[in-house]
Structure 1
Amino acid sequence: MEYRGAQETASAWEVSTRLVQRLCAEGRVDGARKVGGSWVIPLSTQKPADLRLAKDRDAGHCPEDVPASASLDKADDTPLAILGAAVPPAVQPGADALAGLMPLMNSAFVPGACGEAIESIEDLEAREIARAEYYYFSGRAEEAARASSAFLSHPDLATRLSAHLIYAYANLSLGNINSARFALAELRLSLHTDASSSPQSRIAEAFVTYAASVLLHLPAPDDMPPAETFFSLLPPGLRAFALYMHAHRLYLEGDYSRSLGLVEAALLMMPSDYPIPEIYLHLVAVMDHMSLRQTDAARTHLLAAWALARPDGLIEAFGEHHGLLGGMLESVIKKDWPEDFKRIIDITYRFSAGWRRIHNPVAEETVADNLTTTEFAVSMLAARDWTNQEIGAHLGVSANTVKSCLASSFRKLGISRRRDLQQYMLR
């Protein structure tokens, strides 16, 4: 079946693009669906016959035979959450709950064209969510938190869930732990919504709840549906990110080979370039290969992730995963891209500080918070039985430098043996 966008459809029907978008949202256009935040309409779909109410709404007034309440809609493109309007949503959570979730993550684009991908999203609110995603994935936490906060009370489920996910992780980096906890709690509560909600809505809720637990290395809620019941129903970009999360969970369980196999299969099956989930998939592959002491393969995946990320500055994931990458950033990125490396390390310090304040109390673990990023990377390798010589060769420093680094870590942690490092490290 052939499709066309809302703007092209509006031209063919001789109406406004906004009217077409509203008709689609109200379920009055046969076969219309959302892809990456934009409506697409089958080429064969005819213009609905009953356009009078929609036209009057678009003009900002009600026809005489329609109750005034029918026209309750915002007069401009300001989100209802900002206006504080307690107006029932015009669009109930339904078939488009998945297509509208994390629209940038779910967008295919050529590396370097992230901005164009955002601007091509026709739905105005989905475009703003995508912009908030871009702020987050490019390490601009303050802008991400500000942009997503406008949609925390939005009536549309996909918009609201996306906003809470972005807001939660952005506030980790900003040190606003109460704000992060609030958003994470809202995501978990989403699983307890009305059981009569649509299957697509339940899948969207499960996806963000899974993200809220796996990325913090915390157990999933007891009422979380099994992954195999919803992964296959996600659109391509979200499915790829869900597979990353599942591979990350397998990594945490120590099942490195299975995690790696899942990543390789996911990358092979990608229908086109979805840079954001692919970056995360490559990074978990680095984690797996380093755990298996396969440094050459780890380097290959790191460079693949870097090739996807650098053109658009999508460096947040590298900062998030620094401690799990086995010194690979120091080995590969630091030498050739020193300024980018500095930005990544800045992200690492900010993100990991907030991450530990959420993770440590819940998991009842004590991941070290007083080591430099280099000390942490060296200590992670030492805790995995790498010798000083092996660590030095990997990082391009002398064995004596490694020894001094470990001595500093031991002093800060109050330990005297390598085997005591593990209790302060990430898994």
Structure 2
Amino acid sequence: MENQGQIKSGEFSQGDEFPLTWRRGEGPRVVIEYLFPDLPCDSSATDEMIAVLHEEEENAVARMVHFFLQARYEESSAEAERCMRSRHPEIRDFALLIHTIIHVALHNVEVALHDLQILQQQIQHSANRRVAAQNDIYRYVLPVFFHLGEDIVPLPQEILPYCSEGTRLFLLYARSYALYLQQAYEHALGVAEAALMMADMCHPLISIYLNLAASMAAMNLSRFQLADRFFLNALELAIPEGYIQPFIGHHGPLQGMVEKHIRDREPKLYKMIAEKVVHFRTGWTEIHNPRSSHKVTTLLTPYEFALAMMASKGKTNKEIADYLHISINTVKSHLSTIYRILDVTKRTELKERLNL
């Protein structure tokens, strides 16, 4: 295994304060250039009515993103609520989306459902083409995020000219994820790889998510070394800033990669991720399950869920043991426990409990 991206002791950090040294285009402040290079005054404005974003509001957006990626949900929620009062509809809706996910993670399901309802109501056609394009993206992204495969709308290709470069990359990440859910793994991998070539390290935040999308697809193709490489690329970008949320949100589809690369090397970090995974999955399933014919279990630990995902995807006991560096007997013991908890008797029945 290459050493690229391996966690080194002491690398992980989650500082108490938002770094004041970040200039525009650096750290989480780059999200302004990703998503909001030009902002209309309101949802009814024409494309010519552009307002400059004040530095205080830029900082609020950056803090919201920074704290969210660090899984510091209460702090991110406070910044999101500030941003939700912005005069710019693009920032308001983006903040509302972040606020929704935060309260899924906090298991504040009523708040998350209320946010979701407002967001869906606001996804209406706007006179401003940039705002309308963002609304179309959210219409596409929300069913992907909650794994509502039957409700995923076609990718709105015609909106791309009205999207910023960062928004297009975000949309390609969502497209790769949607293809993963549709089990079109080769296509999903190709989209993520192409988007990573476009990002070319100029967009490190979205590159974390693109690398994880590529890793998920490669894992389902049993291309383990490639999956590891993409995962370690994401880790290398994320861990120095303490950005653990992408690994929390993608834990199940990553099929044991968090366990393989983090659990034994950084047990303190793994414990933090695993605890937040439990809360996140609990909130997520309360929104997903009533809306989907495929119900996801909340009865397994993160480690058991990861192993169950591998088994349900057709990985043999030996493949699982080799990948996680455990014995075949340990795999059998874990699967026996998983079968008993879920009241199933074989791998194929696991799919019904894991949204596959």
Query: Which TM-score applies when normalising by structure 1?
Result: 0.70
| In structure 1, distance between residues paired with 2:287 and 2:120 | 15
- The residue number in structure 1 matching 2:329 is 400
Q: 1:99 to 1:352 in 2, by over 3 A?
A: farther
Per-residue CA deviation, residues 322-365 of structure 1 (Å, 9 max, x unaligned), is 11011111112223333222222122111111111111110132
Tell me if 1:391 matches 2:307.
no
The code of the aligned residue for 1:162 comes to F
- The residue number in structure 2 matching 1:56 is none
Q: 1:226 to 1:247 in 2, by over 3 A?
A: closer
The code of the aligned residue for 2:42 comes to Q
- The residue number in structure 1 matching 2:68 is 136
Q: Is the 8 A contact 1:129 1:162 kept in 2?
A: no
Q: 1:361 to 1:123 in 2, by over 3 A?
A: same
| In structure 2, distance between residues paired with 1:306 and 1:418 | 30
Q: CA deviation at 1:220?
A: 8.1
The code of the aligned residue for 2:81 comes to S
**Which entry has the higher C-alpha Rg, 1 or 2?**
1
- The residue number in structure 2 matching 1:91 is 41
Q: 1:98 to 1:228 in 2, by over 3 A?
A: farther
SS of the equivalent of 1:386 reads coil
Tell me if 1:151 matches 2:151.
no
Q: 1:154 to 1:99 in 2, by over 3 A?
A: closer
Q: CA deviation at 1:271?
A: 5.3
| In structure 1, distance between residues paired with 2:36 and 2:170 | 20
Q: 1:266 to 1:352 in 2, by over 3 A?
A: same
SS of the equivalent of 1:415 reads coil
| In structure 1, distance between residues paired with 2:228 and 2:201 | 23
SS of the equivalent of 2:284 reads helix
SS of the equivalent of 1:269 reads helix
Q: 1:98 to 1:382 in 2, by over 3 A?
A: farther
SS of the equivalent of 1:349 reads helix
| In structure 1, distance between residues paired with 2:208 and 2:54 | 25
Unaligned runs of at least 5 residues, structure 1? 1-33, 41-89, 101-120
The code of the aligned residue for 2:100 comes to A
| In structure 2, distance between residues paired with 1:398 and 1:178 | 43
Q: CA deviation at 1:206?
A: 1.7
Q: Is the 8 A contact 2:312 2:348 kept in 1?
A: yes
Q: Calculate percent identity across the aligned residue pairs.
A: 30
| In structure 2, distance between residues paired with 1:395 and 1:301 | 17
| Higher relative contact order structure (alpha carbons within 8 Å, sequence separation ≥ 6) | 2
The code of the aligned residue for 1:355 comes to W
Q: Is the 8 A contact 2:124 2:132 kept in 1?
A: no
- The residue number in structure 2 matching 1:417 is 346
- Stretches of 4+ moved more than 6 A in 1? 37-40, 96-100
Q: Is the 8 A contact 1:37 1:127 kept in 2?
A: no
Query: Which TM-score applies when normalising by structure 2?
Result: 0.83
- The residue number in structure 2 matching 1:329 is 258
CA-atom RMSD, angstroms?
A: 2.5
Q: 1:158 to 1:96 in 2, by over 3 A?
A: farther
Q: Is the 8 A contact 1:247 1:262 kept in 2?
A: yes
Q: 1:419 to 1:278 in 2, by over 3 A?
A: same
Q: 1:218 to 1:419 in 2, by over 3 A?
A: closer
Q: Is the 8 A contact 2:295 2:353 kept in 1?
A: yes
Q: CA deviation at 1:122?
A: 5.0
- The residue number in structure 2 matching 1:213 is 143
SS of the equivalent of 1:246 reads helix
- The residue number in structure 1 matching 2:57 is 125
| In structure 2, distance between residues paired with 1:327 and 1:269 | 28
Q: 1:99 to 1:228 in 2, by over 3 A?
A: farther
- The residue number in structure 2 matching 1:52 is none
Normalized per residue, which structure has more helix?
2
Unaligned runs of at least 5 residues, structure 2? 1-31
The code of the aligned residue for 1:129 comes to V
Q: Is the 8 A contact 2:80 2:96 kept in 1?
A: yes
Q: Is the 8 A contact 1:98 1:201 kept in 2?
A: no
Q: CA deviation at 1:135?
A: 1.0
Per-residue CA deviation, residues 206-257 of structure 1 (Å, 9 max, x unaligned), is 22333322111125868x6742122343212221111000000011111111
| In structure 2, distance between residues paired with 1:127 and 1:225 | 34
The code of the aligned residue for 2:130 comes to Q
